[in-house]
Amino acid sequence: MASDEVKVIGAWASPFVMRPRIALNLKSVPYEFLQESFGAKSELLLKSNPVHKKIPVLIHADKPVCESNIIVEYVDETWSASGPSMLPSTPYDRAIARFWAAYIDEKWFPSLKSILKAEGEEEKKAVLAQVEEGNALLEKAFNDCSKGKPFFNGDHIGYLDIAFGCFLAWLRVTELAGGHKLIDEVKTPSLSKWAERFCNDPAVKPVMPETATLAEFAKKIFAKPPA
Hey, what domains does the chain have and what are their CATH numbers? 6-79 (3.40.30.10), 91-222 (1.20.1050.10)
pLDDT category, 116, cuts 50, 70, 90?
confident
Mean pLDDT within 160-184: 94
Mean pLDDT within 114-122: 86
pLDDT category, 1, cuts 50, 70, 90?
very low
Q: Which of 117, 127, 202, 204 is nearest to 164 (CA)?
A: 204
Provide φ and ψ at 9, rounded to 5°. Answer: -90, 125
**Sign of the Cα pseudo-torsion (23, 165, 211, 106, in order):** positive
pLDDT at 2: 44
Mean pLDDT within 149-166: 98
pLDDT category, 4, cuts 50, 70, 90?
confident
* Residue 48 burial (CB count, 10 A): 20
Per-residue pLDDT for 3 more than 70? no
Tell me the pLDDT of the chain averaged across its residues.
Answer: 94
Contact 12, 170 (CB under 8 A): no
Per-residue pLDDT for 227 more than 90? no
Give this prediction's pTM: 0.94
